[in-house]
Structure 1
Amino acid sequence: MTRLPALMLTVALSSVAVDGQVPPPPIVGTSHEVIPHARTMPFANLAAGQVLVTWTPQNVRCGGVPIAFSQAPAPMPALSWSGAANILKSVDYSFTVDAAGRPLDVGRGSKEYLPAGTDLAPALVAAKFAPGNPRQGCSLTFVPAASAVLEASVTALMTYIMFPEQRPTPAMFAQIRPVGSTCFDPPPEIRNRAFPAFDSIPKQPGQAGWSMIGFDIDARGKPVHLKHEAGNGNAVLDKASLAAVADSKFAPGARTGCQYPYWIAAATLPPPPIPEEAPFRPANATCPLKADWATKPPLNYPRNFGRRWIEGWAIIGYDVASWGETGNVRVLASQPSAEFGEQALQMLSSAKWAASATGYVGCVDRVAFRMPRPGAKPNTPDAAENVPLPF
């Protein structure tokens, strides 16, 4: 078979801040008693107001046989409202596992509206199984739990505040403060804020790292009584964050119950190789190999995968009417999740070709979703203005 020239639409994510160079600002709030563990109430009993939703993977099976993750999915907590939380229910996902232990072909069983669940598929894609044993017919269930903000776990609240989808509330800031803290109202004057050597800290593909350091300040303005309060398991970042706080300096005056977080973005998690479009092109295709766009497809990266630095691709088939409108748009293949295909389908559906005498059938386009590449030249598909923050 003659190989057709590759027609590729490349979607590169652009954003505004350089990874690790400018961590989130100090979390500032008022002193409040910390409730150390969440008391998750039945959804119907939640009082009106904002709630924090967390998800737990359960019933993980391949071919009907239970299977254990070597690195379980860790969906980010989501902020919602009690009314939406009352309709939350468990969500089923299907997937396969490749020889490297990566979940692929990730898809959700139901297409119903899913409140507070935008990170479920990305979290599953970023998970791992033991390598060397590819599997088919896999599934799991994500089970939700909703807690009033004032009763949510401190670690879950910290996780949300580090990577928020909506602006964190004052109640959330207050909830994570150590009891009796004197460090936030007002905060101490910073004389020197030290930072870890971010470039030397290993990144985890598909998972941003964070570390919250607690400390006091002595009368000279030196941080003392340092401790690691919470994080998501990057031991190198934890150690470097402790050292950075120790090297910081504040205005003289004793303070207690201080906190400061550091984070690093995820490493890029690439997809499996994207196939050529030739095997997907039907025998009766009349579509030219080079698209004549009158209105180009909007190149929109799936935000929930971009915040985890997860790449993907889709193969889209469609026809073109004589007046240029695309129709019969369908997903022929996508990886590592069906959501990349859904995003590409929306993009191609809104595009338009130049008018022609008869229109075309059997058009096939590949859509590659790529994160920015280090050292890429500006204004190329592999470059972005800056490396994006993980939120």
Structure 2
Amino acid sequence: MLHAALLFSVLPVLTVPPPPPPIDSIFGGQRASPPQLLAWNPGEVRCDGVAIGGAALRPGSEIAFLDPQRVRAISYHFAIDAAGRTHSIARDAGEFSPVGQDIGPALAASRFPGSAKRANCQISFAPKFDSLASAPLADLIAYSIHPTGPKLPKEGWDRIGAVGNCRDKPRPAPLLSGHPEFRKLKATPGARDWALVGYDTDTAGRPVDVRIAQGSGNDELDAAAIEAIRVSRFTGGARTGCLYPYWRSAGKLPAPERPAEEQMRPADAVCPAKVEWTTRPTTSYPPAYRKRAIEGWAIVSFDTAPWGEVGNVKVLDAQPSADFGSQAMNIIRSGRVTPSAQGASGC
């Protein structure tokens, strides 16, 4: 959950920054055609200039309509605790990019060999563009199951279902559908698992040659998905090359321990014990982190003017990523407090 420690004073009130410019204005209003699949490949991790073992999770792919020459690598700096978990994640300063929104969450879900705390770590994610005709099939399937943007175009679906006659019309319809008991299956913290089951059907509509065509590697989900298809029945008679997807939501990744507010409160603070809101802040969660079930927090300070407007918003700390701090600032700026004679500061 996002959390805010409140600082009040009569200081110049800051306004909410304007939203990022639209994609077309950033990239000159030009769209590449046809759409491409954009993948982000994690590079080597170096802490204090020394390469360490392990690798970061690969972020989700994207459908992109951009000129590849205009998309650059995206770099982050962060730290690693003794258990190998990443924290203090922040994107390096640079131009706004409309792509790569899953990079920060993927890094937050990554794990590295534990034993000692590491600081001053850096990593870059390199963009790789592929046409839908040449993109890795596993990436197309993963995107179709967990899209990060527009729906997968028909060209991508045609590649996924290129083998067999199961897509011929009239397409088989389920007469009896098996379903895994998802709650009993292990979930990967911060990562959404999936399994694409391949199978054929005999003349009676019974699945045969049931197997995992592609998947994220969750063995429990794979086994449950295969069993679910085996007990299912379909119309359409004998078919080949049938496919059916199953997925497991990400397991919750708890937020790092949060420091006490009192440890961060300024010594010269002048604020009421309880903040009275006339317009309560509109809470919202960073969408990309919600998809991966990654929890986080932010401690935010702010001041108020006598007329109740909020300003001078600052992030004192945010974990596991600076993205939670940015979201918290927008949340606090959406509120308004009860007017007072002098305003307040230092909460």
Q: Normalization by structure 2: what TM-score?
A: 0.88
Overall identity of the aligned pairs, in %: 38
Matched with 1:275 is 259
Q: Does 1:299 align with 2:283?
A: yes
1:77 to 52, 61, 74: 61
Distance 1:333 1:176, change over 3 A: same
Q: Give a deviation string over 1:151-208, Cα, whole Å, max 9, x none.
A: 2111101111111132222222112113343335332021111011212211110001
Give aligned pairs, total. 320
Distance 1:261 1:277, change over 3 A: same
Matched with 1:56 is 41
Alignment check: 8 A CA contact 1:94 1:106 kept: yes
Alignment check: 8 A CA contact 1:215 1:256 kept: yes
Alignment check: 8 A CA contact 1:73 1:124 kept: yes
Q: Give a deviation string over 1:198-230, Cα, whole Å, max 9, x none.
A: 122111100011000111111111111122111
1:360 deviation in Å?
0.8
Deviates more, 1:177-186 or 1:202-211: 177-186
Q: Does 1:116 align with 2:105?
A: no
Q: Does 1:168 align with 2:152?
A: yes
Q: Give a deviation string over 1:284-329, Cα, whole Å, max 9, x none.
A: 2111131111111110100000000000000101111001111110
CA distance in 1, matches of 2:296, 2:209: 45
2:303 to 304, 314, 319: 319
Alignment check: 8 A CA contact 1:183 1:255 kept: no
CA distance in 2, matches of 1:308, 1:285: 37
Alignment check: 8 A CA contact 1:60 1:140 kept: yes
Opposite residue 192 of structure 1, the aligned amino acid is L
Distance 1:252 1:142, change over 3 A: closer
Deviates more, 1:143-152 or 1:164-173: 164-173
Matched with 1:193 is 177
Matched with 1:34 is none
Deviates more, 1:111-120 or 1:300-309: 111-120
Matched with 2:319 is 335
Q: Normalization by structure 1: what TM-score?
A: 0.78
Summarize the alignment of residues 134-145 of structure 1 with structure 2, pairs less than 5 Å apart. Answer: 134-145=117-128
Opposite residue 56 of structure 1, the aligned amino acid is N
Alignment check: 8 A CA contact 1:192 1:250 kept: yes
Q: Which runs of 5+ in 2 are unaligned?
A: 6-30
Opposite residue 248 of structure 1, the aligned amino acid is S
Matched with 1:126 is 109
Matched with 1:156 is 139
1:9 deviation in Å?
5.9
Opposite residue 62 of structure 1, the aligned amino acid is C
Alignment check: 8 A CA contact 2:4 2:301 kept: no
Alignment check: 8 A CA contact 2:307 2:338 kept: yes
CA distance in 2, matches of 1:281, 1:333: 12
Q: Which runs of 5+ in 1 are unaligned?
A: 1-6, 11-45, 364-391
Give the aligned CA root-mean-square deviation in angstroms. 1.8
Opposite residue 58 of structure 1, the aligned amino acid is G
